[in-house]
């Protein structure tokens, strides 16, 4: 008969097993391979988007995570957030293509997508009243909305404020200017708005956009060539990229603002979708804005994916007197809005599709 292990041997063996289990758990927690996030994306989240280990742990537990990003200019504000969604990322991509329904919420008053090619009729759903802006006293260096000097002079001369229907004519002129800007942007031809002259100091949105991209290395970390795609559009496009533009009128601050946004959607690999947005025009508040959206499959759960959104914007109102107070208010609002939107997308995508059973 073999010898029976002594109590001391059994205790030593048990201690060794516990130690090995503890060591294995520690190594698993320390290694990116132990994460539910795709390894390359996880590296970008930690290095470029400043997600902490606690943030990543909260994400995997299903919590919404959001925080501010360091600003690289006095008038800049940036935030990033993420959430895990129990649905297919394909469902997200399909919803995102239908941008009119995707962005529908109480703060979006009106929205529409430009066709290819853009037509004036694409703006039929945009109503313009005195609550949106008043162009009667619009002058170079003092105007209710963002416009270049030549457009301000054109509206002053063509609206003919003494005749009936002047407000309607001015609104139609504004729509035509918006369309001309979009057509120039999508064709790469001349005539695009490159300067706002509504205030004492001119604003150059294209230069601010380039500054934002320089401050956002994560664009190319996630998808090499994405910055060049946005900078040189419509030439030098990423193969397979889907591009479209939409307009919206949204609540923000004292009065609503009207904007035009360029969306790019790319399938980078079977596990990931990447989308970007770029501000093409904004009638108020923002000098320039860019955003990165990533939908990435869960490593361990094929029925889930992670959604991340990072936005970086510049606004001249964040300069000058009381800039620190304004920045605090804007950053807090940006984080809260980001969390609300991520929760809304999560709820929408996790809801069963009509006529289908939940997965």
The pLDDT averaged over each successive group of 10 residues in the chain (359 residues) is 49 40 37 78 97 96 94 90 96 95 92 97 95 92 96 92 92 96 96 95 96 96 97 94 97 90 94 97 94 97 96 80 57 77 95 51
Model pLDDT, residue 237: 93
End-to-end CA gap in the chain: 57
Rounded Cα–Cα distance for residues 316 and 74 (Å): 9
pTM of the model as a whole: 0.86
Model pLDDT, residue 319: 60
Model pLDDT, residue 130: 85
Model pLDDT, residue 359: 34
Model pLDDT, residue 320: 54
Using DSSP bridges, classify how beta strands 257-269 and 76-85 pair: parallel, antiparallel or unpaired.
unpaired
H or E stretch covering 25: helix 7-30
Model pLDDT, residue 113: 98
The first and second tokens of residue 29, run together, are: 């927690």
Residues 6+ apart with CB under 8 A from 116: 186, 244
The first and second tokens of residue 27, run together, are: 């190594």
How far are the Cα atoms of 74, 102, 218, 239, 266 from residue 224, in angstroms, in the given order? 28, 27, 9, 12, 12
Q: 């950053």: which residue's tokens?
A: 331
Rounded Cα–Cα distance for residues 87 and 186 (Å): 34
Angle between helical axes of 39-47 and 53-60 (0-180°, round to 10): 140
The first and second tokens of residue 125, run together, are: 């759903």
The first and second tokens of residue 10, run together, are: 């059994």
Domain 39-118+240-350 has CATH 3.10.310.10: no
Residue 237 DSSP SS3: coil
Q: Are 281 and 302 spatial neighbours (Cβ–Cβ below 8 Å)?
A: no
Q: Are 274 and 226 spatial neighbours (Cβ–Cβ below 8 Å)?
A: yes
């Amino acid at each position: 008969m073999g010898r029976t292990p002594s109590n001391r041997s059994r205790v030593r063996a048990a201690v060794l097993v516990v130690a090995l289990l503890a060591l294995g758990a520690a190594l698993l927690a320390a290694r990116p391979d132990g994460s539910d996030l795709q390894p390359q994306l996880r590296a970008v989240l930690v290095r470029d988007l400043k997600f902490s280990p606690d943030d990543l742990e909260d994400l995997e537990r299903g919590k919404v995570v959001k925080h501010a990003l360091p600003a690289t200019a006095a008038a800049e504000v940036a935030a990033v957030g993420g959430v895990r969604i129990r649905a297919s990322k394909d469902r997200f991509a399909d919803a995102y293509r239908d941008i009119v329904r995707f962005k529908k919420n109480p703060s979006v008053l009106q929205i529409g997508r430009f066709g290819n090619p853009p037509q004036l009729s694409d703006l039929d759903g945009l109503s313009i009243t005195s609550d949106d802006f008043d162009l009667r006293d619009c002058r170079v260096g003092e105007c209710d909305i963002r416009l270049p000097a030549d457009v301000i002079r054109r509206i002053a001369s063509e609206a003919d404020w003494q005749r009936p229907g002047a407000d309607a004519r001015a609104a139609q002129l504004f729509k035509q200017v918006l369309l001309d800007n979009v057509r120039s942007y999508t064709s790469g031809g001349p005539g695009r708005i490159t300067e706002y002259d509504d205030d004492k100091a001119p604003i150059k949105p294209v230069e601010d956009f380039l500054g934002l991209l320089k401050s956002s290395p994560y664009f190319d970390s996630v998808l090499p060539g994405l910055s060049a795609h946005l900078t040189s559009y419509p030439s030098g496009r990423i193969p397979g990229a889907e591009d479209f533009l939409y307009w919206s009128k949204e609540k923000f601050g004292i009065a609503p603002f009207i904007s035009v946004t360029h969306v790019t959607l790319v399938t980078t690999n079977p596990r990931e979708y990447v989308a970007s947005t770029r501000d093409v025009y904004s009638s108020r508040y923002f000098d320039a804005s860019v955003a990165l959206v990533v939908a990435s499959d869960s490593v361990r759960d094929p029925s889930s994916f992670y959604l991340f959104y990072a936005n970086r914007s510049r606004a001249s109102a964040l300069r000058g007197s009381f800039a620190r107070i304004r920045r605090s208010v804007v950053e807090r609002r940006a984080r809260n809005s980001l969390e609300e939107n991520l929760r809304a997308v999560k709820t929408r995508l996790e809801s069963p599709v009509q006529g289908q059973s939940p997965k």
